[in-house]
Amino acid sequence: MNLIKIYDTTLRDGTQGEGIAFSAEDKVKIALRLDQLGVHYIEGGWPGSNPKDLEFFRRIQDHRLNTAKVSAFGSTRRPGIAVEDDPNLKALLEAGTPVCTIFGKTWDFHVEKALQTTLEENLAMIRESVAYLKAQGREVVYDAEHFFDGFKANPAYALETLKAAQAGGASTLVLCDTNGGSMPWEIFNIIEQVKAGVSIPLGIHAHNDGELAVANSITAVQAGATHVQGTVNGFGERCGNANLCSIIPNLVFKMGHQGIDKELLQGLTEFSRYVSELANIHPFAHQPFVGKSAFAHKGGVHVSALLKNPATYEHMEPELVGNQRRVLVSELSGVSNLVYKAGELGFDINHTNPETRKILEEIKTLEFEGFQFEGAEGSFELLMRRAFEEYQDPFCLEAFRVINEKREGNSVHSEVVIKLQVGSEVVHTAAEGNGPVHALDNALRKALEGAYPEIKNMKLTDYKVRVLQEKDGTAARVRVLIESSDGHNSWGTVGVSENIIEASWQALADSVAYGLLKAGRKH
């Protein structure tokens, strides 16, 4: 099969997505990880547009890359300006990268309306810009902007723009679906026609406005493209760019193309989440291949078959991309779900065990009442351990009292007095907080830190409240989901009640108990 060159543009195109921003240091970190993944090109940014990109190009020169070439991005010269006088081309050369990627106009509509120049001048701009950069010793990738729309409007002229770039010495002609509206069969048919008119490698750059960027990229490869551009997680302007986290596994595992080492793809899931974290965006759970839910199974029939052979409901082994299989437990679960989860926890139970069916019915009842264990596996594991092993909670509540005081002109003051049974001792203490739940959390920690000093390493990282019966107004049952962390691992716990303090207590108590369990405190 063909060697497919992967060209990543996360650091430029990806940052054009709404809410996406990377510091120069972030960009260096991502570039180094992209190199470790084995991509062939890393587009670092547009050096003529902002100081941050210039800083990135300066910093990346301090690092030796093993597989990737860094590219600076820019445009062809402006109309009526000599290439040696064009500030954009000067900035590209000053970036000091071995590769320069420039885009030019392909659609006659854009040439006349956006550039407001002649079709002949546009061809000269493309040819001369590529030739100038090539003469300075750079490899030149030419991005044919709006190529598919341009070809559909005026195929002869669109092809002439590619021939101009080829004449200038471009190494690759990248056909761009800039508006993201082309269909896969259009991509295939147009590339088939283009191949007869040019003699250098073709690439694809697809946007996702029609939810087809990955499909269009794969189709382009089928048609003969050997260079694929995209971004990590599909980040990009409007609806995003082609998602390399989907394209690469499809090319390697489904189509058998060479380009990225299969062994290196075992780090793909972790890298996808790493980039999301740097972008300060919560990873998309349902993203194919690398999402947390990509190999998650909930239906009882599915899990029953999965236990016999994972191929019954999985298109590939999740470990190939560094992901993992997850079986969820809910009111939709069958006994097989419970048996699978018990096996993960080290419990040897079977389908005929009456206790197994009893626990399954209890889970279904709890979910009917509003509990949700998909995001609260800490609470679920405690439930299982209480049922199937001699697990004892590290503390037992005797009582707590919540005091809220509001005085004119002052904020609400919250205080919690709590009494716990901890081992053979009764601990009675109090704590304040900026609200009743905060005060309850502080009081619980204060009461336990003497017996369990490791509790100081645990912290609450997220707190969500969901009203379950909106029509009941302030009397409605609520579900509280808590996310906690010890600095290395994170876990979720859940509580449900008509009283938000009670629901919060359930989730908080499970959170601390589970954290102590993971710290080696089995009771």
Q: Dump pLDDT digits (tens) for 37-60.
A: 999 999 999 997 788 999 999 999
* Averaged pLDDT for residues 490-518: 92
pLDDT tens column, 222-259: 999 999 999 999 999 999 999 999 999 999 999 999 88
Q: In angstroms, rounded to a whole number, what is the distance separating the alpha carbons of residues 510 and 460?
A: 12
* Residue 521: per-residue pLDDT: 57
Distances (CA, A) of 157 to 57, 73, 111, 150, 401: 35, 24, 11, 8, 79
Predicted confidence band at 26 (pLDDT cuts at 50, 70, 90)? very high
- For 369, 434, 439, 448, 506, the CA distances from 415, given in Å and listed in that order, are 30, 9, 6, 17, 18
Q: How confident is the model at residue 335 (pLDDT cuts 50, 70, 90)?
A: low
- Measured between alpha carbons, how far apart are the two ends of the chain, in Å? 57
- The position carrying tokens 């080290």 is 346
Are the beta carbons of 80 and 19 closer than 8 angstroms? Answer: no
For the chain, the residue count is 523
Instruction: Tell how strand 296-297 and strand 326-327 pair up.
Output: parallel
Kindly report the pTM of this predicted structure. Answer: 0.75
Higher-confidence position of 464 and 70: 70
Q: Is the pLDDT of residue 303 over 80?
A: no
Give the residue, 211 or 410, on which the prediction is more confident: 211
Please list, in sequence order, all residues whose beta carbon lies within 8 angstroms of the beta carbon of residue 214, skipping any fewer than 6 positions away: 206, 208, 234, 242, 243, 246, 247, 250
Question: What is each CA distance from 164 to 7, 169, 396, in whole angstroms?
Answer: 22, 9, 78
Please report how many Cα atoms fall inside a 13 Å half-sphere around the Cα of residue 121, on the Cβ side.
14
Distance CA 245, CA 381 (A): 32
Least confident of 164-168, 296-300, 351-355, 499-503: 351-355
% of the chain beyond a pLDDT of 90: 68
Say if strands 396-405 and 413-422 run parallel, antiparallel, or are unpaired.
antiparallel
Tell me what pLDDT residue 337 has.
Answer: 64
Q: Classify 449 as helix, strand or coil.
A: coil
More confident residue, 509 or 334: 509
Q: What is the average per-residue pLDDT within 173-196?
A: 98
Q: How many helices (H) and strands (E) does the chain have?
A: 17, 16
Quickly state the pLDDT bin for 280 (edges 50, 70, 90): confident
Please say whether the beta carbons of 415 and 395 come within 8 A: no
Helix (H) or strand (E) holding 213: helix 213-223
Domains of the chain: 5-260 (3.20.20.70), 296-387 (no CATH)
Euclidean distance between CA atoms 259 and 141, whole angstroms: 18
Return phi, psi of residue 75, to 5°: -115, 170
pLDDT for res 374: 66
Band of pLDDT at residue 200, cut at 50, 70 and 90: very high
What are residue 399's DSSP bridge partners?
419
Chain centroid offset of residue 333 CA: 28
Question: How many Å apart are CA 435 and CA 416, to the nearest integer?
Answer: 10
Rounded to 10 degrees, the C-alpha dihedral 258/260/265/271 comes to: -150
Spell out a b/e string for 36-54, using b for 16 or more CB atoms within 10 Å of the CB, else e.
ebbbbbbbbbbbbeeeebb
pLDDT > 70 in the chain, percent: 92
Torsion of CA 355, 357, 363, 369, to 10 degrees: -110
Which tops the pLDDT comparison, 298 or 399? 399
Mean of pLDDT over the chain: 90
Burial readout 59-89 (b: 16 or more C-beta within 10 A, e: otherwise): ebeeeebebbbbbbbbbbbbeeeebeebebb
